[in-house]
Amino acid sequence: MPKTVRILLKTALILFITSIIWVLVYRFVPIPVTPLMLIRTATDDAPIHYTWQPLENISPHLALAVVSSEDNLFTQHHGFDIKAIKQAREDAQKGKRLRGASTISQQTAKNVFLWNGRSWVRKGLEAYFTLLIELIWGKERIMEVYLNCIEMGNGIYGAAAVANHHFGTHPSKLTREQCALIAATLPNPRKYSSAAPSKYMRKRQKEILRLMNLIGKVEYDEKQRKKEQK
């Protein structure tokens, strides 16, 4: 085997093992910082408002709100919403406005391990890390990391920071209406603010509240959910 090939194979093996260890560690350890936080600070000189909170210290309304607005099949898929991906592709082929098809799992993988961008390399890595966290973390941990690390305003990351800076409260005390308003900002949290909502934001908030009523609650354990249904 040529030396160059051996070096490439060894490098690939090292990267693979490193990625597994990285995901395993983050299965149990609070995320200290994300690439997006560092990029925003470096390019925009933006502050980092971020405090990790365990899922039990975050209002369950917030998980329900983000599932309702971002990924209503979160507890059912294995990281990818195939139907949404196909629909987005069809819309793009027809020249319609691009729509997001990323699941909460994909967004979490991107936020924690990668950088923003549309290259095939980054998309491939996103898919890889999405599969890893679905396999190693499970839905409840994915939601915990998502609610802690997602950008929710300029320099504001996660439930604790947005609850404190926009509503003057603890994340466990966020109301149903406040959570729907936060979820309404997620497509573009630096353009839309839950602290000063526009008419469009209020409209989105009402729609998300309607969807929250339809979904009811987020069940992370799919096996338990099916057992209860039976």
Count of other CB atoms within 10 angstroms of residue 185: 25
- Identify the domain containing residue 49 by its residue range: 38-223
16 in any annotated domain:
no
163 in any annotated domain:
yes
The CATH number for 43's domain is 1.10.3810.10
Looking at residue 152, what DSSP letter applies? E
What is the share, in percent, of the chain residues with pLDDT greater than 90? 67
199 in any annotated domain:
yes
96 in any annotated domain:
yes
Rg (CA), the chain: 19
Residue 87's pLDDT band (boundaries 50, 70, 90)?
Answer: low
Confidence (pLDDT) at 189? 93
Total domains, the chain: 1
CB contact at 8 A, 35 and 113: yes
Mean confidence (pLDDT) of the chain:
88
Look up the pTM and report it: 0.88
Edge-to-edge strand ranges of the sheet holding 156-157: 49-50, 156-157, 151-153
Confidence (pLDDT) at 228? 45
Confidence (pLDDT) at 63? 97
pLDDT average, residue stretch 148-163: 96
**Residue at 75: amino acid letter:** T
Confidence (pLDDT) at 219? 87
Confidence (pLDDT) at 127? 94
28 in any annotated domain:
no
10 in any annotated domain:
no
Give the largest Cα separation in the chain, rounded: 65
Q: What are phi and psi of 156, to 5 degrees?
A: -110, 120
43 in any annotated domain:
yes
Lookup: tokens for 157: 């990351």
Residue 203's pLDDT band (boundaries 50, 70, 90)?
Answer: very high
What does the pLDDT look like over 37-78, one tens digit per residue?
A: 999 998 888 889 999 999 999 999 999 999 999 999 999 988
182 in any annotated domain:
yes
Asked whether the predicted pLDDT for residue 224 surpasses 80, the reply is no
Count of other CB atoms within 10 angstroms of residue 134: 20
